[in-house]
């Protein structure tokens, strides 16, 4: 991209799974300032290191990309601001917008009438205009009607090397034709296709619908798995049979963790209370998936109950396959549940005396998984292997008792 004229100066607030790939992609066409509240995160990125191992050093050290802590941000005459901060829930599953509100307050110090604000953080319908836009107006002293604002739901999938930012469809919405045109111009070069939604509220709720649907589908498969248990039937075999029908939709059961699927539905559920609407399917599915980890723990303990002197090795506690993040991980929660009543250790590459363990549990799949599987194949002692929602292909191994859930 050398010699390409930088058309905009863009400030991105939040440099996690969403903000960093967005920043590195936009830096190929624009001057980008990436801002994060974490001092360590900023220091790491300045030397080209991504702790999530999602973005390469070469992309991070793009000369058109600079990193700052929130407190060090100065007025660089920005054209566009993009918010990609997390919008989690608190301990009682209520939406926590504190990071979003703080980001809006920070932006308002530098926001000018000609600027555009794009919100990518997941929010309930109406938040972009009723909260973000109002904060910018109140703190910047720019009239509410003069603020250009867009909402574009993020679709980053951590650990997915196939559906990366440049290969997905990007939804945008805005409060004016000018705002939409500006957003379309910057996104069109870094994604597969840009889809323009009719209004901001539709775009906001679309993100929640996407993850609510996934949550509901997984909860159904989790219940079908439980039903197969009651009949002592192999769930995986039943699904293979069902999949021979042309209109059967294939979904997998699983432990639902992370920062999107188990979080986003709560934003809608909380907002629906204002509408005096009681959700049944979304609410029940969320509750079902939240408690499903206890069923898996009970199943593991039942399967291993007769084993004397149990010594368990647990591999994979990140919230999903091929990521390092253990925050909001149901696999990590499962490990902690099992640890209360068992002698259990987390697997590390340099761990000694692997053969001293007699039970091996595989949670989320990662780079360590194959390493441990290859070592297990060489072991001659009797062993039990439990695989959680992954086919480890451990057939024809001597002295092996294998449970695949």
CA pair distance 376, 9, nearest whole angstrom: 53
Q: Is the dihedral of CA 74, 76, 81, 85 positive or negative?
A: negative
Residues 35 and 171 placed together within one structural domain of the fold: yes
CA pair distance 82, 345, nearest whole angstrom: 42
CA pair distance 104, 81, nearest whole angstrom: 10
**pLDDT of 2 strictly over 50:** no
Residues 189 and 266 placed together within one structural domain of the fold: no
Residues 59 and 179 placed together within one structural domain of the fold: yes
Q: Based on the structure, what is the number of domains in the chain?
A: 3
Q: Quick one: pLDDT band at residue 3, thresholds 50, 70, 90? A: very low
Q: What is the pLDDT of residues 38-54, one digit of tens each?
A: 999 999 999 999 999 99
Domain boundary among 265, 294, 323: 294
Percent of the chain with pLDDT over 70: 98
* Annotated active-site residue in 104, 132, 150, 260: 260
Question: Quick one: which of 325, 322, 371, 363 has its CA closest to 346?
Answer: 363
Q: Is residue 206 part of a domain?
A: no
Residues 314 and 275 placed together within one structural domain of the fold: no
Q: Is residue 365 part of a domain?
A: yes
| DSSP string covering 121-187 | S---TTHIIIIIHHHHHHHH---GGG-EEEE------TT-SSS-GGGSEEEEEESSHHHHHHHHHHH
**Residue 190: CATH number of its domain:** 3.40.50.720
Q: What is the pLDDT of residues 382-393, one digit of tens each?
A: 889 999 998 777
Domain boundary among 229, 259, 294: 294
187-201, 239-253, 260-274, 389-403: segment of lowest average pLDDT: 389-403
Q: Is residue 58 part of a domain?
A: yes
Identify the helix (H) or strand (E) that includes residue 315.
strand 312-315
The answer to whether 104 is a known catalytic residue is no
Q: Quick one: pLDDT band at residue 396, thresholds 50, 70, 90? A: low
**pLDDT of 350 strictly over 80:** no
Say what the pLDDT of residue 6 is.
Answer: 61
Residues 255 and 315 placed together within one structural domain of the fold: no
Q: Is residue 218 part of a domain?
A: yes
**Residue 263: CATH number of its domain:** 1.10.1040.10
Domain boundary among 167, 197, 227: 197
What's the whole-number mean pLDDT along residues 183-209?
Answer: 97
Residues 218 and 252 placed together within one structural domain of the fold: yes
Residues 147 and 165 placed together within one structural domain of the fold: yes
Helix%, strand%, coil% for the chain, nearest 5: 40, 15, 45
126-130, 144-148, 186-190, 363-367: segment of lowest average pLDDT: 363-367
Q: What is the pLDDT of residues 93-118, one digit of tens each?
A: 999 999 999 999 999 999 999 999 99
Q: Which domain holds residue 246?
A: 211-294
Residues 321 and 346 placed together within one structural domain of the fold: yes
Q: Is residue 142 part of a domain?
A: yes
């Amino acid at each position: 991209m050398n010699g390409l004229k930088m058309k905009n100066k863009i400030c991105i607030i939040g440099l996690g799974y969403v903000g960093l790939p967005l920043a590195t992609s936009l830096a190929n066409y624009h001057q980008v300032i990436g801002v994060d509240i974490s001092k360590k995160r900023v220091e790491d990125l300045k030397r080209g290191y991504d702790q999530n191992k999602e973005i390469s050093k070469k992309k991070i050290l793009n000369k058109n990309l600079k990193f700052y802590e929130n407190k060090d941000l100065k007025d660089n005459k920005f054209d566009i601001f993009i918010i990609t901060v997390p919008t989690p829930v608190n301990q009682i599953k209520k939406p926590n917008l504190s990071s979003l509100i703080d980001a809006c307050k920070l932006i308002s110090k530098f926001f000018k009438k000609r600027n555009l604000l794009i919100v990518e953080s997941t929010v309930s319908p109406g938040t972009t205009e009723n909260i973000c836009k109002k904060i910018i107006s109140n703190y910047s002293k720019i009239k509410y009607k003069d603020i250009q604002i867009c909402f574009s739901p993020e679709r980053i999938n951590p650990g997915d090397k196939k559906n990366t930012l440049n290969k997905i469809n990007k939804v945008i919405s805005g409060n004016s034709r000018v705002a939409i045109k500006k957003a379309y111009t910057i996104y069109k070069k870094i994604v597969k296709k840009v889809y323009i939604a009719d209004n901001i509220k539709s775009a906001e709720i679309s993100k929640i619908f996407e993850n609510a649907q996934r949550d509901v589908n997984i909860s159904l498969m989790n219940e079908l798995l439980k039903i197969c248990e009651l009949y002592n039937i192999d769930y995986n075999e039943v699904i293979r049979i069902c999949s021979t029908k042309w209109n059967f939709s294939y979904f997998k059961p699983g432990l639902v963790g992370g920062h999107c699927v188990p979080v986003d539905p709560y934003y809608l559920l909380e907002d629906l209370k204002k509408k005096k609407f009681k959700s049944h399917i979304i609410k029940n599915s969320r509750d079902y998936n939240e408690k499903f980890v206890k069923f898996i723990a009970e199943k593991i303990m039942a399967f291993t109950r007769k084993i004397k002197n149990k010594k368990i090795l647990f591999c994979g506690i990140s919230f999903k396959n091929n990521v390092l993040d253990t925050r909001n991980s149901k696999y990590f929660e499962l490990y902690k549940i099992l640890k209360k009543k068992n002698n259990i250790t987390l697997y590390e590459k340099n761990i000694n005396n692997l053969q001293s363990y007699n039970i091996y549990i595989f949670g989320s799949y990662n780079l360590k998984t194959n390493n441990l599987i290859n070592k297990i194949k060489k072991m001659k002692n009797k062993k039990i292997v439990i695989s959680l929602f992954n086919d480890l292909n451990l057939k024809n191994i001597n002295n092996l008792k294998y449970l695949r859930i």
